[in-house]
Structure 1
Amino acid sequence: MSSWSAPRAQRAVAGEVQIPGSKSETNRALILASLSIRPVSIYNPLAARDTELMARALTGFGARIARGGELWRVTPAQQIASPGTIDCGLAGTVMRFCPPIALLASEPTDFVGDAQAGGRPMGGLLSGLRQLGAAVSGDSLPFRVTPPRLWTRSQVSVDATSSSQFVSGLLLAAPRYPNGLRVDRIGQMPSAPHVDMTVKMLRRAGVAVRSGPDWWQVSPGQIVPGIIHVDPDLTNASAFLAAAAATGGSVTVPNWPETTTQAGDRIRDILTQFGAKVEFDSGSLRVIGDQLAGIKINLRSASELTPVVAALAALADGDTTISGVGHIRGHETDRIAALATELSKVGAKVTPLPDGLHISPGPLRPATLQSHADHRMVHAFSIIGLHADVEIAGVECVAKTMPDFTDRWHNLVQG
C-alpha cells in the first residue's frame, strides 16, 4: 500500500485541467457496442481499472475491443458466450451490469471480485435475475448465474433502494431478451440521473424505451449505437473545481457538456451554495473561489459528490449537514464511516447521521489518512491537504477512475 503527501497550496490554486472521459458513460457505451448488430467506435473513452475490467468481461462474452488512445473500436459478439469467470474488482458497473448479460449465454458464469466487493449490495439485482428464471447462488459476490432454460417472464420488480445500477443493468441487456423487459422499481432510488443516462444512451442506440415515475419498458430489438462520444467525467472534475473554491483560486475545466445526465454536473450548484462563483462559457466551466460558508444539502441524486462536499465542509466557516446519502455505506467502502473517521483526524467534528453527516469545522492538524481503498476518499483528502499536512495511505486506488490523479493534482496545485 503506497502513501502520498498531498501538496499544500502556497497560493490560490489557478489553472486549467483536462478531465478524462466519464466512467459511467464509457462502461455503458462498451455494453451497448458489445450487444449491437455492427462494429461501434467510441471516442474519448476512459482508460482506467473499472473500464478495463468491463472490457475484459465483455471480451469474455465474445466481443472484440481494440483500444487505441482516444478511439476504441468494438466488434460485437455474434453470439453471447459464457466467459466462465468474470472478475468485477470493486467496480459496481461490472458486478451489476454484466450479470444480466450472462442470461444470454448458454452456460453458467461465475462472478468474483476484490476482498471488499462482497460488502457491496447486490440483492435487488440478483432477485430480478431470479424472477426472469435464472438460478443465482448467493446474494453478494462471489456468486454464479445460470441462464434460464425457458424465458417465461418479461417483467420484474426490483428493490433499488441500495443502487440505481440494479435498474440500469437490467435495462442495458433488455433489448436482447426475447420479449424485452419491464422493470418496476420498489423503494426510493438514489442517483436517479444515472438511470436517465442509461435510458438516453439506449434511445440514441435505436432502442424503444418507455418509462413512468417508477417503471421502465424496453422493447426487444436491435441495438445500433453508431458512433459514441464520451463526455469528461464530471464527478472526477469536482475535486479540481473544489480546489479553487477551497483556496480562493480559479480553475477551468474545458469540454464541459452544455446538457448532460451525469450527476456530477450538480457540482456547479453546490459550489455556488458554498460561496464560489461559477461561470460557463464556450464549453468551459470556471470556478472562482471565495470564503466558504457551511451549507445544508440533500445529495440523494448525486451521492458520488459526498466526499468532496464533506472535505469542503471541513474547511468552511460554519456547520454543514449532508442528507439523502445513507446508501453510500454500501459503496466502495462505508463512505459515511470513512469520512467521519478520517476527517476527525484532521480536526473536524463529524457526526454520522442515519442518512448523512453533520460536519463542524475545527482547527486543522497534520494527519495520516486512510483511503479505505476508495478513490473518492483520495480526492476528498487531497482537498484537505491544500490547507493541512496530510499523508494519504493507499493512494493507488485512484486507478479505478483516474490513474494519473496525483500527477494532475500536483500539477494544478504546484504549477
Structure 2
Amino acid sequence: MTSLPDPWPAPRVLHPVDAVVALPGSKSLTNRALILAAVADGPSVVRRALRSRDTSLMAAALTSLGTSVDTSGDDWVVTPGAFDRDAEVDCGLAGTVMRFVPPVAGLSTSVVSFDGDAHMRQRPIGQVLSALRDLGVSIRGDALPFSVHGSGSVRGGVVTVDASGSSQFVSALLLAGARYDEGVDVRHVGRPVPSLPHIDMTIAMLREHGVEVDDADADRWSVAPGPVKAVDHVIEPDLSNAAPFLALAAVSGGSVTVRDWPRATDQAGDALRGILTEMGCEVRFVDEGLRVTGSGVLHGIDVDLHDVGELTPAVAALCALAGSPSHLRGIGHIRGHETDRLAALATELGALGADVTEHDDGLSLRPAALHGGVFHTYADHRMAHAGVIVAAAVDGVLVEDVATTAKTFPDFAGFWSGLVAP
C-alpha cells in the first residue's frame, strides 16, 4: 500500500463515473465462517476470504487457541485443534473478535486473555460476559481487558440478555452454542434488537453446518447441542463496503456496477438497493452484478435504518448533499460502534457546512452549501467512507486517517483514487 499524506486530500469527481468494481469479501461472513470452522468436526475451507485487519485478527485469535488457520492463499484452510493452551487475544477494533471468540474460549482448558485498541475498551461487551457466566463459564473482568478461564466444557442452557446494544451479543452465543452440553437458549429482553439481518446471517450459516436452530418465537433463539459439521464457505462480496462506490454513481450522475451482487442475501448492505432508489437513482441487476446509475439529482429521505445501522455514515453523507431534507431514524445503537457515529457524523458534516441536527436515535439533515475542511474519522472505517463521499462532491475536503479503511478494505484509498481520477 502506498504511503498517504494525513489528512488525505480525497479526490473530487469532475465527470460522471462509469466503472465496474469487484469488492473484497464480507467481513461479517468471513469471521462467522472462521468461528464455525474452528468448532467444526473436521477441516474446512473459507473461499474468497476477506483479508483485512479484522479478519486477520480473527484468524490470529483462533490460531492462538489451537486452531490451524492457513491464510497463505485466497482460500483459507481451517483445521480445528484442541483448545488446550493459554492464549492472548488482540481484539484490535474488531467487535466480532471481542464478542465471538470468548464463547469459543469457554471450551478451552486454559486461560485466554483479551485486550484491544484503546477505543475498544469503550465498546460494550458486558452483556456477553454476563451471559457466559450464567452459562457456566468462569470469567475475570467485565470489560476489556478480561480473561476466560476454561474448564474444557460449557454447561449451556437458557440465558437472558439485553441485546439492544448490538445483535452481535446474540450471534456470539449462538455460534458456539451447539458445542455446549445443553446447547443454548438465548432470550432477549429490552428495546428491539438492532441489525437483525446479522442474526439471520448467523442462523443461516449455523444451519448450513447442520446445527439445529429454533427461531420461531420473537426475541428467542435456541441452538440444540450436537456436532458442527465441517462445511466449505464461499464468501460473498461485502455489500456494506459497496456503499461509497454506489454513492459515487449517485454523486457524479454516473454508473457503477458491483460484480457478483447476490440475488438473495442476509447482508445488511443489500438495503442500499432500496435506499438509493428512493434517493433518485436507477438500481437494477445486470449480468455482471448490481448497477446503480445516478440521475444527477439527489432526493432526501425519511428512513428507519435500525436493522442496517452500519450504512448510516454513507447514507448520511449522501443526505448532506441532497436537495431536500432527510431524517435517519432508529439508530441510537450506533453510538456504541467503533465510535459514537451519530455524534461524529453531526460534528464532521456540520464542520463542512451541513445543516444537521443530532437526535437521540438519529440525524436530521437539510440542504446547505458545503465547503472544504478536515473530516475526522475517529479510527472508524465507515466514517472514512462518509468523508470520501462528501469529498467527491465538494472541493478541498481532507480525510484524516483514511488508512483506517484497512479494517475491511485494504488499500481502499488507492482503489478509490483509481475510480475517481479523470
1:309 aligns with 2:315: yes
Which residue of 1 is the match for residue 96 of structure 2?
93
Distance of aligned partners of 1:413 and 1:150 in 2 relative to their CA distance in 1, 3 Å threshold:
closer
Once the two structures are overlaid, the 10-residue window that deviates more, 221-230 or 329-338, is: 221-230
Letter in 2 for 1:199: I
Which residue of 2 is the match for residue 373 of structure 1?
379
1:413 aligns with 2:417: no
Partner residue of 2:117 out of 110, 114, 118: 114
Which residue of 2 is the match for residue 364 of structure 1?
370
**1:36-64 deviation digits (Å, cap 9, x = unpaired):** 11110111110000000000000011111
Partner residue of 2:213 out of 209, 213, 234: 209
- Kindly indicate whether the alpha-carbon contact (under 8 Å) linking 1:347 and 1:361 is maintained by their aligned counterparts in 2: no
1:249 aligns with 2:259: no
Once the two structures are overlaid, the 10-residue window that deviates more, 195-204 or 80-89, is: 80-89
Deviation of 1:152 (Å): 4.9
RMSD over aligned Cα atoms = 1.4
Deviation of 1:82 (Å): 3.9
Q: What is the TM-score when the length of structure 2 is the normalising length?
A: 0.95
Other structure's SS at 1:73 match = strand
- Kindly indicate whether the alpha-carbon contact (under 8 Å) linking 2:103 and 2:132 is maintained by their aligned counterparts in 1: yes
Which residue of 2 is the match for residue 37 of structure 1?
41
Q: Separation in 2 of the partners of 1:252 and 1:149?
A: 49
Which residue of 1 is the match for residue 177 of structure 2?
174
Partner residue of 1:76 out of 75, 80, 102: 80
Q: Separation in 1 of the partners of 2:156 and 2:384?
A: 44
Partner residue of 1:65 out of 61, 65, 69: 69
Deviation of 1:411 (Å): 1.1
Q: Separation in 1 of the partners of 2:288 and 2:83?
A: 40
Partner residue of 2:228 out of 208, 219, 223: 223
Which residue of 2 is the match for residue 232 of structure 1?
237
Partner residue of 1:390 out of 394, 397, 400: 397
Matched-pair identity in % = 49
Q: What is the TM-score when the length of structure 1 is the normalising length?
A: 0.97
Which residue of 1 is the match for residue 263 of structure 2?
258
- Kindly indicate whether the alpha-carbon contact (under 8 Å) linking 2:299 and 2:324 is maintained by their aligned counterparts in 1: yes
Other structure's SS at 2:71 match = strand
**1:95-125 deviation digits (Å, cap 9, x = unpaired):** 0000101110112221100000011111211
1:287 aligns with 2:292: yes
1:349 aligns with 2:352: no
- Kindly indicate whether the alpha-carbon contact (under 8 Å) linking 2:32 and 2:202 is maintained by their aligned counterparts in 1: yes
Other structure's SS at 2:393 match = coil
Other structure's SS at 1:385 match = helix
Letter in 1 for 2:66: G
The count of corresponding residues between Structure 1 and Structure 2 is 414
Once the two structures are overlaid, the 10-residue window that deviates more, 257-266 or 357-366, is: 357-366
Q: Separation in 2 of the partners of 1:8 and 1:73?
A: 41
- Kindly indicate whether the alpha-carbon contact (under 8 Å) linking 1:82 and 1:102 is maintained by their aligned counterparts in 2: no
**1:3-38 deviation digits (Å, cap 9, x = unpaired):** 211110011122011101000000001111111111
Other structure's SS at 1:176 match = coil
Partner residue of 1:162 out of 161, 165, 175: 165
Segments of 5+ residues of structure 2 without an aligned counterpart are: none
- Kindly indicate whether the alpha-carbon contact (under 8 Å) linking 1:133 and 1:149 is maintained by their aligned counterparts in 2: no
Q: Separation in 2 of the partners of 1:226 and 1:153?
A: 24
Deviation of 1:283 (Å): 5.0
Q: Separation in 1 of the partners of 2:28 and 2:154?
A: 29
Deviation of 1:149 (Å): 8.3
Letter in 1 for 2:404: C
- Kindly indicate whether the alpha-carbon contact (under 8 Å) linking 2:153 and 2:181 is maintained by their aligned counterparts in 1: no
- Kindly indicate whether the alpha-carbon contact (under 8 Å) linking 1:17 and 1:408 is maintained by their aligned counterparts in 2: no
Deviation of 1:86 (Å): 0.6
Other structure's SS at 1:251 match = strand
